[in-house]
Amino acid sequence: MSRPAELRHRYTTAFQRRLNPLLRRLPTQTVLETTGRVSGLPRQTPVGGRRIGDSFWLVSEFGLRSQYVRNIQADPRVRVRLRGRWYTGTAHLLPDDDPVARLRSLPRVNSVGVRVFGTDLLTVRVDLD
């Protein structure tokens, strides 16, 4: 990873560590819950994405470096809170999907942030039960 990308990753994750606990509390915020790969505890991450049919789509801004993506690799069973309601599902990492094209079909505000701050975009699909 280039030095500017590394710095962007550090600053963005430091900012998100402070903001995410506040966002998780908002009842309208979409939240992805994974199981911690080391602790085994639930880990909740505010995300942006969209439900399309029986799937929830999102794009990870740091790809395999994102902690929630690493948790998905260890255990793909997740929960997603959409509009205040929890859904269970199975997450799939889609490295062959075009994340920039995918962002065009997702909520615009979040998509802009992912494109601006992201360094290694990765599409994630959650098949909801």
Q: pLDDT tens across 37-69, in order? A: 999 999 999 999 999 999 999 999 999 999 999
| Domain CATH for 18 | 2.30.110.10
Q: What total number of domains does the chain contain? A: 1
Q: In sequence order, which residues have a C-beta less than 8 Å from that of residue 23 and are 6 or more positions away?
A: 29, 46
pTM: 0.85
CA–CA dist 106, 86 (Å, integer):
20
Is 42 in contact with 88 (CB distance < 8 Å)? Answer: no
Percent of all residues in the chain with a pLDDT value above 90, rounded to a whole number: 67
Range of 103's domain? 3-128
